[in-house]
Amino acid sequence: MGLEELDAAAFDRVSGSSAAVIDVWAPWCGPCRMVTPIVERLASRYSGKVQFGKLNSDDYGEKAGQLGIMSIPTLLFYKDGKLVDRIVGAYPEEVIDEHVRRLL
């Protein structure tokens, strides 16, 4: 399925799945641009097992506020519709991958 651009309704659908990772980002954010290719690779690697999405915090600031996003990039990890983990900032692929594997 790959990395889906999310609006508020798609966010609810993806985050409600059995395992999901949502990248909260903005186009002007340098660290976000560093994380995007990592998340894209992981979305490909875990296709069919974990749903991945991107939520633009500029376009959906109200939703980002509801989620308690204070800094971007923030990766949100959902298991069975519940937020179970989050990473704030740019991390190496191995670190992010470990968080994704915990969802399985």
| Catalytic residue IDs | 29, 32
Q: Which of 53, 54, 56, 42 is nearest to 102 (CA)?
A: 42
Q: Which of 104, 84, 80 is nearest to 17 (CA)?
A: 80
